[in-house]
Chains A and B, each alone.
Chain A
Amino acid sequence: MEASSDLHQEGQPVGRVVIDGSIEAILTQLLELLPISEFTPDLEVVVRDAWRPGRSYGEAFARMMTSLLGSHGLVLLDPLDPRLKASGGAALCESSVART
């Protein structure tokens, strides 16, 4: 499965790529490819709720991660937030990630 390259403009951060209606066909393809189990209905809700047309790639990713792992207390960080850029908080985390 692949999102259309037309969604992305040269030099644009991927987090700001806006999902369009073509995601519906990709979602359908994903659900057809996955094996059916008792988890399928819940999984479909998680995926469809996160990857909606009009949302940014960053938000869709964050929403799906929150649905999957939020109950474990995971904190998600989007470095595109202007407050984080100004405070250097994102750079701090980036340097920490680079050490791992």
Chain B
Amino acid sequence: MSTAEPACYSTPEESGLRVETLSFDRIPHQSRLFLDYLHDPVALREFYPSAVRFHHELSTRAAEVLAAHQTDRSTLCDALQDMNAAWGAGEETLKNIQLLREADCLAVVSGQQAGLFTGPLYTIYKALSAVKLAGCLTQRQTKAVPVFWIATEDHDFPEVAKARVHWS
């Protein structure tokens, strides 16, 4: 494969790529628990009491979550405002921090260690999952913003010191 091929500005069809869907159960070494969760998360409520079949069903838990997680939103959001602004955050992020000041706004929280060059690819997927879920809740008229908790307090430097590039 040439290393100068253009990446995906065009659609897969336009670029002549063959696109197939590969289900997780066709990938070797997946755990039974993981595959069962994908198939029917509600059947696993013994282990995951909050499991829902569809993401949008999480909006029904908003009141319960807001009651269970109370904090000083003003102090929290002042700190978030300062740190995100210092890191070059744009309007979308700052607007979400303002929204989080409101007592009925949920935070969809994901997180990961501060890996070199953002670390494993799943770090990005975790952050995007929070973005997607917050968007899903917002569409259902449940205020929600995506928050990514950076595990900066972790002491295990070897875990964040390496980055690998996989290319085939």
Q: Is A89 touching B79 in the complex (CB atoms < 8 A)? A: yes
Q: Is A66 touching B89 in the complex (CB atoms < 8 A)? A: yes
Instruction: Name the interface size band of chain A.
Output: 35 or more
Shortest beta-carbon distance, A90 to chain B, in Å? Answer: 8
Q: Is B161 touching A75 in the complex (CB atoms < 8 A)? A: no
Residue of B nearest to A10 (CB): B155
**Cβ contacts under 8 Å, A94 to chain B:** 111, 149
List CB contacts (< 8 Å) of A28-68 with chain B.
30, 33-39, 47, 51, 57-68
Residue of A nearest to B74 (CB): A87
Assuming A30-B165, A58-B152, A94-B149, is B128 touching A69 (CB within 8 A)? yes
Number of interface residues of B (CB under 8 A): 65
Q: Is B11 an interface residue (CB 8 A)?
A: no
- A96 vs B107: C-alpha distance when bound (angstroms): 9
List CB contacts (< 8 Å) of B1-41 with chain A.
3-7, 9
- A8 vs B159: C-alpha distance when bound (angstroms): 12
Assuming A17-B157, A75-B93, is B84 touching A89 (CB within 8 A)? no
**Cβ contacts under 8 Å, A87 to chain B:** 71-72, 75-76, 79
Assuming A1-B162, A1-B164, A97-B111, is B148 touching A74 (CB within 8 A)? yes
Instruction: Annotate B154-168 by CB proximity to A: 1 below 8 A, 0 otherwise.
Output: 111110111111010
The tally of CB-CB contacts under 8 A between chains A and B is 215
Residue of A nearest to B5 (CB): A37
Assuming A73-B96, A87-B71, is B152 touching A78 (CB within 8 A)? yes
Q: Is B69 touching A89 in the complex (CB atoms < 8 A)? A: no
Q: Is B154 touching A89 in the complex (CB atoms < 8 A)? A: no
Instruction: Annotate B90-132 by CB proximity to A: 1 below 8 A, 0 otherwise.
Output: 1011011100100000010111011111100000100110110
- A63 vs B124: C-alpha distance when bound (angstroms): 14
**Cβ contacts under 8 Å, A95 to chain B:** 69
Q: Is A89 touching B92 in the complex (CB atoms < 8 A)? A: no
A65 touches which of B86, B148, B154, B160 (Cβ 8 Å): B148
Q: Is A93 touching B149 in the complex (CB atoms < 8 A)? A: yes
Assuming A15-B152, A87-B71, is B118 touching A64 (CB within 8 A)? yes
Q: Is A68 touching B88 in the complex (CB atoms < 8 A)? A: no
A14 touches which of B76, B78, B113, B127 (Cβ 8 Å): B113
Chain A interface residues toward B at CB < 8 A: 1-5, 7-8, 11-17, 26, 30, 33-39, 47, 51, 57-81, 83-84, 86-90, 92-97, 99-100
